[in-house]
């Protein structure tokens, strides 16, 4: 009995925190293999910036996949919105940003409209939208990269928020998260097993403390890169929405049982529509961050980004059949992929092999997920 | 005089993490008898059946199984089939596109010579043997999808017979059958018994148990608590063995003070979802008053469920007619509007329509009323938890915590969660569609008690049910439907099972 309990706890930890443990192992391994090159301020900031583009998409993709859908168009939308933003530069940075976000919303809304109104599987609609958006990007840009963005636009990704400001904001956010966490624990009416609670509690506190320490260390370097700040902000908003709002609860409910949700008075179509709309907006954000980093709108960029986003979500433990998942998991997934990419670059591994390694990791993560169930 | 024992278990114990599902179960089935296996949900019947079927390999439990005195070890379905056991599950395992004969011989089709080509002639002629044992004609060349559920079940039985099964286990075989189909099935069981087939008959329906079985084994909390000849048991005794205490009064119904009409429906027509011009509900009018329980009875397919789901704005087809809530004309186009007008619908199939199985108990309860628990979009946890705990307490939902995943609860407790989520909306009218299907006896009694209390508080209750004793004892008035029409209204004191069946089957 005792033995069983122990292995049960082990399984809970590996099941719930398997991807987190995987990430830590991967970071340690990469650091050792690169003789510490990986774990320098300069490189880690680079990793953060690379992860941001995919991470923003992964947050939206988490919502889409929890409702039981999928969005294959995001990679093309990243390219299209990048091109649109670049073309809109003469109108001023603010107008370019707003209009590009609207364009993303329109494409996402279009996906959502066809999925909900005509009950066509999202796989099909977004597959179509994937090639439409790619085609539009090529048409608008006449097939060439549009370079020479306003400095104020490039600042979206390239500028640094000064250490003092970012530390203040960051500290405030950290406090808010701790506050919400404690509040939720307190308000749940039933007791838990003390041991499990404490153990996992200690684990999470330790991990959060480590993550905070690393971030503070990185911010101390030159400040927070603006693109990374955008990503972290969106991640926080996404996690908050899923856990604390009605909309988030409905997202889970619809993924778990659409019919029961409808009968419970939930406007299923509206929620699904909004989820695709949000995905479109986030793809536009991601597209602008990428364009700002490349200092141009590139119609051929963003290829396969949808797969990286989906892979992050799946590695993060979200079920492709809907109903389960978390933004936190997807972000860990995005960091696993980011670390892998960066580590292999540092080790000068042929990019072709990088693709293979990524595929192996994805399949491995899903296998682990299966075993858990 | 006694027949020899054909199937016996000795001291079978099976543990799941944290729960002992079977506690040294010893059990005997005699040759040529029909044994009724009864017990509440969670008593261990399904676990025992999974051991017989080989679904749980022999190293996952302790204890021994003997067939005709020989020790058997089951490590997979093949072993158990080989030993002559066949199980007819609640969910049928047939392939709709294939024919009856193809389904019967699935995986062991006769072939032409040594090739892999199916010998269709031989296939159809061989299928005649098992099909001949059924009492009804079933064409071997018919596709499964064209058969009624009752006939599909017959195909499953024919399949079992084609394996020359000696022991047939039927798990809730009548839960999806019409009255006539049940009759046909019971007759078939009778004739199989005459041929010397031994059967285990698992059912919640005690009427059937008394009608068809020779002996009864009662399970409770993973143990066999009694094995008796059916003739020596009374219904009361059986129920108290199942729940472990005397249920003096299964149906507590007391008359509540009946007030004015809270829901009124006038001339309601509901279209068929696919067939143009067809109506599934025709010209139905009724009233339900505060404190009243209105029973709606009828055969499956008589339009009962369509009626209530359509009133609730959840039926995917057009309807016409007038609906009044507390005297005010309302137009309900979606469940959301129905909830706002004070209606609640406890749906028929809780796994399909009632619950989000992967979510927590608490989350399921508040799914219907998050709006009043939120500040704009943000859910106020404290208020939510208060409401959840209130209903878990009031309905006595047996759950480890409000955060337990609802899937892990027993059927009766899941049903209570479904009822809780509708009570949480503060309804004026509760529409109940088969509120106690697949629910164990103790939970049933609790649900009846609850209905009583709700009526006492002035709720109007509309209850659709196929369970005649339930309709008779719980309703103040009974409406009977036949082919989409309301054919008869009976007062509580004049209604009998026979009368209801007479009108429900189209009698005039």
Q: What is the DSSP string of B358-390?
A: TSBHHHHHHTTSGGGGEETTEE-HHHHHHHHHH
* Bigger pLDDT: A10 vs B450: B450
Question: Taking CB atoms and an 8 Å limit, are A263 and B353 in contact across chains?
Answer: yes
Three-state secondary-structure class, residue A323: coil
Question: Taking CB atoms and an 8 Å limit, are A187 and B385 in contact across chains?
Answer: yes
Helical H segments across B234-366, by residue range: 235-243, 304-311, 335-340, 361-366
List all residues of chain A from 131 to 190 with a beta carbon under 8 Å from chain B: 183-184, 187-190
Chain A residues within 8 A of B359 when measuring between CB atoms: 252-253, 256, 323
List all residues of chain A from 67 to 126 with a beta carbon under 8 Å from chain B: none
Read off φ and ψ for residue B429, nearest 5 degrees: -130, 135
Q: How many Cβ contacts (< 8 angstroms) between chains A and B?
A: 95
Query: Which residue stretches of chain A have pLDDT < 50?
Result: 1-8, 188-196
Question: Taking CB atoms and an 8 Å limit, are B381 and A184 in contact across chains?
Answer: yes
> Does residue A263 belong to the interface with chain B, where contact is any CB pair within 8 Å?
yes
Chain B residues within 8 A of A274 when measuring between CB atoms: none
CB B26, CB B62: distance < 8 Å: no
Residues B200, A207: Cα–Cα separation, whole Å = 55
* Whole-prediction pTM: 0.80
DSSP string, B395-417: TT---S-TTSBGGGS-HHHHHHH
Q: Is the pLDDT of residue B1 over 50?
A: no
The whole-number pLDDT of residue A1 equals: 30
CATH 3.40.50.300 range(s) for chain B read 1-84+200-248, 261-504
- pLDDT more than 70, % of chain B: 96
The whole-number pLDDT of residue B177 equals: 78
Topology (CATH level 3) of domain B1-84+200-248:
Rossmann fold (3.40.50)
Nearest C-alpha in A relative to B19: A1
Read off φ and ψ for residue B9, nearest 5 degrees: -120, 145
Chain B residues within 8 A of A252 when measuring between CB atoms: 356, 359, 363
The 10s digit of each residue's pLDDT in B72-113 is 999 988 888 888 999 988 778 889 899 999 999 988 888 888
Of A8, A263, A266, the CB nearest to B17: A8
The whole-number pLDDT of residue B497 equals: 79
Please give the CATH number for the structural domain made up of B261-504.
3.40.50.300
Of A188, A263, A324, the CB nearest to B335: A263
Residues B173, B87: Cα–Cα separation, whole Å = 10
The whole-number pLDDT of residue A190 equals: 40
CB B475, CB B452: distance < 8 Å: no
Question: Taking CB atoms and an 8 Å limit, are B359 and A253 in contact across chains?
Answer: yes
Q: Is B31 exposed, middle or buried (0-12, 13-18, 19+ CB in 10 A)?
A: middle
What is the separation of C-alpha B416 from the centre of its chain, rounded to a whole number of angstroms? 15
Residues B415, B400: Cα–Cα separation, whole Å = 16
Question: Taking CB atoms and an 8 Å limit, are A190 and B356 in contact across chains?
Answer: no
Q: B7: which strand partners? A: B29, B67
pLDDT band (50, 70, 90) for residue B443: confident
Task: Provide the 10 A C-beta neighbour count for residue A173.
Answer: 13
The whole-number pLDDT of residue A201 equals: 65
The 10s digit of each residue's pLDDT in B356-408 is 999 999 999 999 999 999 998 999 988 999 999 999 999 988 888 888 999 88
> Does residue A15 belong to the interface with chain B, where contact is any CB pair within 8 Å?
no
Chain A residues within 8 A of B17 when measuring between CB atoms: 4, 8
Q: How far is A298 from chain B (nearest CA, A)?
A: 38
Q: Which of A265, A278, A372 to mutate to test the interface with B (most CBs of B within 10 A)?
A: A265
Q: Which of A332-346, B251-265, B280-294 has the lowest mean pLDDT?
A: B251-265
Please give the CATH number for the structural domain made up of A41-154+226-372.
1.10.3470
CB A8, CB B17: distance < 8 Å: yes
Q: B266: which strand partners? A: B322
Residues A166, A154: Cα–Cα separation, whole Å = 19
> Does residue A262 belong to the interface with chain B, where contact is any CB pair within 8 Å?
yes
Of A191, A259, A267, the CB nearest to B353: A259
Q: Which two tokens stand for residue A247?
A: 């909309």
In angstroms, what CA-CA distances link A247 with A250, A259, A312, B67, B241?
5, 17, 23, 57, 47
List all residues of chain A from 239 to 258 with a beta carbon under 8 Å from chain B: 241, 244-247, 249-250, 252-253, 256-257
């Amino acid at each position: 009995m005792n033995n069983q309990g122990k292995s049960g706890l082990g399984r809970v930890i590996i099941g719930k925190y398997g991807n987190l443990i995987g990430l830590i192992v991967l970071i340690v391994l990469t650091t050792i293999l690169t003789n510490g090159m990986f774990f320098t301020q300069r490189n880690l900031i680079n990793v953060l910036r690379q992860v941001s583009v995919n991470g923003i998409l992964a947050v939206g993709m988490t919502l889409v996949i929890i409702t039981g859908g999928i969005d294959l168009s995001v990679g093309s939308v990243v390219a299209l919105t990048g091109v649109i933003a670049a073309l809109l530069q003469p109108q001023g940075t603010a107008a370019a940003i707003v209009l590009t976000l609207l364009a993303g919303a329109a494409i996402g809304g279009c996906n959502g409209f066809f999925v909900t109104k005509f009950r066509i599987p999202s796989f099909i609609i977004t597959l179509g939208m994937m090639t439409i958006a790619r085609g539009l990007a090529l048409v608008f840009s006449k097939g060439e990269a549009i370079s020479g963005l306003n400095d104020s636009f490039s600042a979206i990704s390239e500028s640094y928020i000064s250490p003092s400001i970012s530390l203040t904001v960051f500290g405030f956010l950290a406090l808010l998260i701790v506050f919400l966490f404690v509040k939720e624990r307190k308000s749940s009416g039933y007791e838990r097993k003390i041991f499990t609670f404490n153990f996992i509690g200690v684990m999470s506190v330790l991990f959060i403390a480590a993550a905070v320490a690393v971030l503070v260390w990185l911010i101390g370097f030159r400040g927070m890169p603006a693109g990374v700040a955008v990503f972290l902000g969106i991640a926080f908003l996404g996690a908050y929405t899923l856990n604390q709002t009605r909309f988030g609860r409905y997202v889970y409910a619809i993924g778990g049982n659409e019919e029961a949700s409808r009968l419970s008075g939930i406007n299923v179509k509206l929620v699904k529509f909004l989820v695709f709309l949000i995905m479109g907006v986030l793809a536009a954000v991601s597209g602008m961050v990428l364009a700002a980093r490349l200092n141009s709108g590139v119609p051929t960029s963003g290829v396969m980004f949808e797969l990286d986003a989906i892979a992050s979500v799946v590695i993060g433990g979200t079920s492709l059949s809907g109903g389960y998942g978390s933004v936190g998991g997807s972000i860990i997934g995005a960091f696993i992929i980011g670390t892998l990419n960066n580590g292999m670059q540092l080790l000068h591994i042929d990019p072709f092999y990088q693709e293979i390694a990524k595929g192996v990791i994805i399949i491995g993560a899903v296998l682990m997920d299966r075993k858990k169930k | 005089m006694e027949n020899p024992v054909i199937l016996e278990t000795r001291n079978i114990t099976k543990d799941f993490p944290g729960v002992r599902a079977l506690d040294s179960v010893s059990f005997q089935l005699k040759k040529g008898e029909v044994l009724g296996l009864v017990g509440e949900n969670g008593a261990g019947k399904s676990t025992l059946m999974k051991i017989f079927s080989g679904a749980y390999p022999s190293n996952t439990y302790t204890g021994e199984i003997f067939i005709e005195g020989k020790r058997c070890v089951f490590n997979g379905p093949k072993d158990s089939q080989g030993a002559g056991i066949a199980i007819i599950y609640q969910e049928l395992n047939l392939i709709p596109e294939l024919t009856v004969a193809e389904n019967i011989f699935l995986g062991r089709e006769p072939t032409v010579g040594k090739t892999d080509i199916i010998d269709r002639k031989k296939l159809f002629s061989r299928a005649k043997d098992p099909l001949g044992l059924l009492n009804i004609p079933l064409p071997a060349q018919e596709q499964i999808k064209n058969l009624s559920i009752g006939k599909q079940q017959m195909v499953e039985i024919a399949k079992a017979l084609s394996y020359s099964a000696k022991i047939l286990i039927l798990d809730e075989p009548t839960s999806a059958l019409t009255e006539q189909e049940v009759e046909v099935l019971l007759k078939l069981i009778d004739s199989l018994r005459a041929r010397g087939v031994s059967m285990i008959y698992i059912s919640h329906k005690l009427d059937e148990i008394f009608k068809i079985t020779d002996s009864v084994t009662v399970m409770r909390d993973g143990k066999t608590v009694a094995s008796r000849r059916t003739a020596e048991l009374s219904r009361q005794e059986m129920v108290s063995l199942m729940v472990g205490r005397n249920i003096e009064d299964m149906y507590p119904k007391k008359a509540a003070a009946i007030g004015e009409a809270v829901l009124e429906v006038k001339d309601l027509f509901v279209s068929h979802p696919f067939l143009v011009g067809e109506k599934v509900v025709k010209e139905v009018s009724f009233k339900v008053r505060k404190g009243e329980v209105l029973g709606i009875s009828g055969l499956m397919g008589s339009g009962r469920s369509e009626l209530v789901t359509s009133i609730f704005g959840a039926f995917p087809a057009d309807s016409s007619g007038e609906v009044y809530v507390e005297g005010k004309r309302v137009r309900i186009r979606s469940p959301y509007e129905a909830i706002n007008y004070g209606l609640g619908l406890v749906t028929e199939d809780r796994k399909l329509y009632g619950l989000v199985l992967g979510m927590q108990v608490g989350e399921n309860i508040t799914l219907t009323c998050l709006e009043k628990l939120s500040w704009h979009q943000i859910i106020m946890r404290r208020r939510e938890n208060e409401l959840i705990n209130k209903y878990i307490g009031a309905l006595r939902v047996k759950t480890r915590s409000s955060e337990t995943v609802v899937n892990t609860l027993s059927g009766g407790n899941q049903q209570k969660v479904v009822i809780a989520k509708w009570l949480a909306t503060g309804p004026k009218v509760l529409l109940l569609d088969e509120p106690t299907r697949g629910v164990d006896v103790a939970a049933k009694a609790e649900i009846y008690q609850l209905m009583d209390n709700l009526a006492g508080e002035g709720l109007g209750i509309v209850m659709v049910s196929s369970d005649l004793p339930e309709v008779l004892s719980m309703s103040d008035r009974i409406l009977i439907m036949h082919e989409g029409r309301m054919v008869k209204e009976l007062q509580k004191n004049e209604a009998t099972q026979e009368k209801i069946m007479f009108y429900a089957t189209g009698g005039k």
